[in-house]
Amino acid sequence: MAKVRVTLIKSKIDRTKAQKMVLESLGLNKMGSSVEKEATPQILGMVNKVSHLVKTEEI
């Protein structure tokens, strides 16, 4: 299965609680932090919810 690298590029200040929880569940805490995840439908759905805050790269 493909992997995807997700990087937090915008602040989570003034975001909804749901968006903050999605970022936390992805493991993104500070700006500039990156995580590598398997590209499952669940992960891609979470990335889609916060796509305006993160940058994604396929590995």
Tell me: the pLDDT tens digits for 5-18?
A: 999 999 999 999 99
10/30 Cα distance (integer angstroms): 9
Residue 45 neighbours by CB under 8 Å, 6+ apart: none
Tokens of 37: 């995840």
The residues that bridge with 4 in the sheet, in sequence order, are: 37, 58
pLDDT score of 1: 78
Tell me: the pLDDT tens digits for 18-53?
A: 999 999 999 999 999 999 999 999 999 999 999 999
pLDDT score of 14: 96
pLDDT score of 31: 95
* Domains defined for the chain, CATH in brackets: 3-58 (3.30.1390.20)
Instruction: Provide φ and ψ at 7, rounded to 5°.
Output: -125, 130
